Amino acid sequence: MDATAPLSPGDLLPTFYTQEYETVRTFIEKSRSRPGQHLAIVGESLCREELLRRIVREYQEEITPVSFLHPVDREYPFAGQLPDTPLLVISNAHYLASRTIGGFSSLRAFISLVAERKKTIISSWNIRAWDYYAAAVNLDKACSRTVLLPPVPMELLRESILSHYRHSVTFTNDATLKKSMLISSNPRTIRIPLTGKEVKIPSVTIDWNLIASVFKKRKDELTPEDVVFSRLHELSGGNLETAIALWHQGFRYPEIRVSGIRELPVLPDLSFDERFILVNILMMESLAAKEIARISESTTAQQDLFRLTNEHVLEEANGQFRISSLMTRPVLAYLQGHRMVS
């Protein structure tokens, strides 16, 4: 296997989100006797689509999959174009609307379709788009069941990444250890200007990390592998795509060093239009320049996209802009800080 190739859906472990998978299976089984229900799978793209892919594979005889790849046009006769089958799986359903006046018509048609109770529907949504549509058109009220995919736990992250390597990977902990005391007192001497007097100010420091570590594994009990995955998990916040990008950044076959897993980049200061572009791409996961210009209604959208790409906040592939994997978490934190996403 190519060690530097990015992971893709289908490469992940069968133990992935077992509980959530069972919830969806139970929903499908129950829908046979009680059709017309709607289940929404909400989460980060890689995990969400993997879960959906498994469902489609298991129930391929009864399921009709529908996938949206870009925002649906406001004039698109949504309901009329859907296949006439009792069990429908719609992936990337967040493309059913766009953040423009009149941009919710297809989403409203979808909500009406759900309310008709003629079909059983399983839909998948980006979590930021889901929150936005819940606030804008009460989408959350149009669901019988919602499966919210939590951040990937550390053990699953470890298994997912290591399952890619036939030969063993060498882990090296070359990070400097910090000597720490629970309570340390370092009185500081301050000289009062012009008087010549010196005053000692008591300064007591409590190491909260050390207190927290009492409840975890002790540092010296952790193997280099533990340290690598703990750092990957901490930096990525359980976002699989970010964790994989961090892994590839530090991995030099067959070795990965703790020092090779670098901190996530810092976001440059952004204009309001640039922030709004990021909000929309974060919600939709990927957008073409034309769609971004239409949604943002900004005359400088092209320049903004150029700058954001130049700063490595966005990356472009096949004319579609998406937030680069290493930037997902900093972008989210930045936009949450400005109350532009919840």
Partner 1 sequence: MADGVLASTTFPLTVSAITTDIIVYAVLILIIAYLGILLLSFLLTRLAERISAHRTQILMVIPFAKIVIYAGAVYLIASTLFKPDIAELVAFFGLFGAILAFGVKDLFSDIVGGLVIIVEKPFQIGDKITFGGYYGEVTDIGIRSTRLLTPDESLISVPNFQVFGQSVSSSNAGEMAMMVVTDMYIDGSCDSTVALAVAREAAVTSKYAALGKSYPVVVLLNDFPFYRQVRVKAFVSDIRNEFAFKSDITRRAWDEMRRQGIRPPVPGAIPGEDR
Instruction: Give me the residues that bind partner 1 (CB under 8 A), please.
Output: 99-104, 131-132, 135-136, 192-195, 272-273, 275-276, 279, 296-297, 337-340, 342
- CB-nearer residue toward partner 1: 133 or 247: 133
Whether the link from the prior residue into 254 is cis, omega within 30° of 0, is: yes
- CB-nearer residue toward partner 1: 100 or 163: 100
Half-sphere exposure of residue 312: CA atoms within 13 angstroms, side-chain side: 8
Return d(Cα 226, Cα 236) in angstroms, integer. 15
**Location of structure tokens 């957008």:** 287
In whole angstroms, how close is the CB of 336 to partner 1 at the nearest point?
8
Run of H or E residues at 53: helix 45-58
Sign of CA dihedral 255, 47, 96, 102: negative
In whole angstroms, how close is the CB of 286 to partner 1 at the nearest point?
20
In whole angstroms, how close is the CB of 20 to partner 1 at the nearest point?
24
C-alpha triplet 33, 115, 146: angle, nearest 5°: 70
In whole angstroms, how close is the CB of 277 to partner 1 at the nearest point?
9
- CB-nearer residue toward partner 1: 83 or 102: 102
Q: What would the two tokens of residue 204 be?
A: 């007591």
- CB-nearer residue toward partner 1: 136 or 181: 136
- CB-nearer residue toward partner 1: 178 or 339: 339
In whole angstroms, how close is the CB of 73 to partner 1 at the nearest point?
16
Half-sphere exposure of residue 286: CA atoms within 13 angstroms, side-chain side: 15
Return d(Cα 338, Cα 127) in angstroms, integer. 18
Say if residues 222 and 213 touch (Cβ distance below 8 Å).
Answer: no
- CB-nearer residue toward partner 1: 131 or 226: 131
Query: Which one-letter DSSP state was computed for residue 151?
Result: P
Please count the other Cβ atoms lying within 10 Å of the Cβ belonging to residue 57.
Answer: 10
In whole angstroms, how close is the CB of 166 to partner 1 at the nearest point?
46
- CB-nearer residue toward partner 1: 253 or 272: 272
In whole angstroms, how close is the CB of 131 to partner 1 at the nearest point?
7
Say if residues 230 and 154 touch (Cβ distance below 8 Å).
Answer: yes
Q: What would the two tokens of residue 73 be?
A: 């046009």
